[in-house]
Amino acid sequence: MTAAETIGEYYDALQSGDPLAPFFSDRATVKFGVGESLFGADEIRAALREQTATTEDWQVDSTRLDVTAGDGYAWFGDEVELAWTDAGTGQRWTFDTRWSGTLERIDGEWQFVSMHVSAPRRL
Domain boundaries, the chain: 3-118
Is the separation of the CB atoms in 106 and 28 below 8 Å? no
For residue 123, pLDDT beyond 60: no
Q: Could you tell me the pTM of the whole model?
A: 0.93
| pLDDT tens digit sequence for 35-64 | 899 999 999 999 999 999 999 999 999 999
Which CATH code is given to the segment(s) 3-118? Answer: 3.10.450.50
Contact 97, 121 (CB under 8 A): no
Summarised one tens digit per residue, pLDDT across range 17-34 is 999 999 999 998 999 998
pLDDT at position 67 = 98
